Structure 1
């Protein structure tokens, strides 16, 4: 009997501890990870409002909120004198990312 009660209490604690949200998220949140060995001086995702600055190798940026975002977007990375651009052609068939 004690074992059964212990299992239910432990299960209840694990379920409560596994909540995927501990804050009130009201927008799409995106962060960038630099998976290269280069320092990114600037990363622009989508439009001029969303610029991530100085992102070292293997580091994550802070989250930024977006009203609308898709699985892929316009991205411009500046690293020293080099500029790299990913330009999607269209968003046909794409669905807006969910809030979170």
Structure 2
């Protein structure tokens, strides 16, 4: 009898814990993204693909940032293609498998160039700027 009471109490506590757990209400999007060029190079034909939308940003000079463009959803990394002096470069995210959406807000993809001469590559990070109005 005592064992049944312990089992019943454990079930009651479990039910209370699980019923009290609600999914955290965080919107997955929309997400506004701008691109900031942290390099000394001019970026031409800048294109961003978040996996949930694509936008073209045109030319971004050294130290400049673009206007925000809207995406349905975005991650902390995106597929970014651009040209430097006519040569195409791509930043490719490793995988979106375990990524979490940035959520509803304004974010900046800061992009820079690593390497020298003909051995250039792109790298990036994201910064949260502001909530969406």
Q: Is the pair's TM-score, using the shorter chain for normalization, greater than 0.5?
A: yes
State the match for 1:29 in structure 2: 32
Superposed CA RMSD in Å reads 1.8
Larger radius of gyration: 2
Q: 2:62 aligns with which of 57, 60, 63?
A: 57
Where do 5+ consecutive residues of structure 1 fail to align?
Answer: 1-25
Q: TM-score, normalised by structure 1?
A: 0.67
Pick one of 85, 96, 100 that aligns with 2:101. 96
- Name segments (4+ residues, structure 1) moved above 4 Å: none
The whole-number CA distance in structure 2 between the counterparts of 1:27 and 1:88 is 20
For residues 79 and 52 of structure 1, the distance between their equivalents in structure 2, rounded to whole angstroms, comes to 14
Correspondence for 2:91: 86
Unaligned runs of 5+ in 2: 1-28, 106-133
Specify which structure has the higher proportion of strand: 2
